[in-house]
Structure 1
Amino acid sequence: MTNSASTSTSSPLSATGVLYVVATPIGNLADMVPRAVEALQTVALIAAEDTRHSSRLLAHFDIKTPAIAYHDHSDDQRTEHILQRLLSGEHVALISDAGTPLVSDPGYRLVREARQAGIQVVPIPGACAMIAALSAAGLPSDRFAFEGFLPAKQTARCSVLQSLVNETRTLIFYEAPHRILETLRDIAQIFGAEREVVIARELTKTFETIRGGPVAEITDWVAGDSNQQRGEIVLLIRGASAPTASDMNAEAERVMRVLLEDLPIKQAASLGAKLTGLKKNFLYQWALDNAKKT
């Protein structure tokens, strides 16, 4: 791997152009990495989520490269146009409105089709709101699950939250400011008032706020301060405690021993999880340790 930031040379893997996936600042323009600036200055075309939004960024860094819109609603013709320019040998940069493209932002379809066409895709890393929030949240970061945006409608939102209530990894969401209070209330109802959450708002911007605590406490704080219901929000939830041997009560053990009489361990653990509410992986391990005793 070379340390060179140059983007002007042809790809060493093929005669086609290179698709650069370029991260941009999530607020503070000083977070733009030099390699990203060079890429945007030297490629033939910038595919931007919103060219009007990106114009401020490009002007700030004196980037005069032509830009076209590429977003979730772009049709196949726009994707094909970009692919053809790449196949002809031109380099193209993909950017979103802020942060790392494809992380809850457009670009997956273009990147996939470029790779399938044999076009080299090169990431230029930089800012990412969910990683920035995780790094400062004080929650376990060795294992986490990014869930993007929760559904806007309460019934669907609660259904998703209910499916995650026993997840042991730290959960990360993006949330719209006008829904943050409703979402916190739903979390309190489903996860319990004491489950720890962290709200990270307006990261890298003037009014950056990061605050954590029991979800009931955070809900009251947000309800009492309308400023916390504005801007870009990352919401994190501490994962559930992993089941321990003491969670295997007499009834759960009886269920598992009955199931293991007629089912393989994997199927018994899966069905046992539905019947007892315990984690499938926990029951699977218990069965491995205890199958010989059934």
Structure 2
Amino acid sequence: MEVTLEVSSQGPIRSPWRDFWQRFRRNPMALVSGIFVLALVLVAIFAPWLSPYDPMISDWMALSAAPSWQHLMGTDDLGRDILSRIIYGARISMYVGVVSVTLGMVVGIVSGLIAGYYGGKADMFIMRGADVLFAFPGMLLAIAVVAILGTGLNNVIIAVAVFSVPVFARIVRASTLSIKQTPYIDAVKCVGAADKLILFRHVLPGTLSSVIVYFTMRIGTSILTAASLSFIGLGPEPDVPEWGNILAMGRNMMMAGVWHVSVFPGLAIFLAVLAFNLLGDALRDTLDPKLKS
């Protein structure tokens, strides 16, 4: 008896990561923004090795010096190298952006899952709280939180995290309301699975695509908000090499024709926020099933 084996002609099985990469790399803007964000992360990690000078050390022979080969982006009025301060500022800005958005995301995900899955009073309580936070402009809410807690880097992180919570909660709640009506959730309930298992193993993965997109875009917003708080004096100590602090220091120097102290940190903030927004748009186009075709 002869046994014939049929070999599938469909080719090798494609993994989701391979499909994601192929869709992602077709977007040139996605690649450019992704490379810039990766470079920003590397600069933040290796700041002590990439910085040409100590950001806190003054060169008293080059006060408010214009850009030159010795100081590529010039110096401030205390003789500190602007390029070195921007490099170290990338570390602080990335830290504030990632940590604050992560805190807001965790609280928002838990709140959204509870509100969407259980409904009733829990849903009403969580969503009305989100509506109260939505009633305040994000920057005004951050200023209010910092005014209550006091200035400082950690309080800036808390302030930025607070106004990130309601949006994550709404995104996750909307996805949860849709997912909990699907047949496979009913099947999991029928076998007696606990609510905690259903929420974090079966419902949460279905919400992650939207959460990842908003998480990426929110980092850029958080960097801008943290820099704004520092610019008006509600951020870290004035001598800390943070982009908003550097920008605030150059505010008064602009009238004296010393342009580089404000232009370069402002450009760093602009490019970082733009890169994260473009990367978020690219991830949305790649992960959204309706846009994959």
TM norm structure 1:
0.20
More helix by share: 2
Output the TM-score relative to the length of structure 2.
0.20
More strand by share: 1
- Higher relative contact order (Cα pairs below 8 Å, separated by 6+ residues): 2
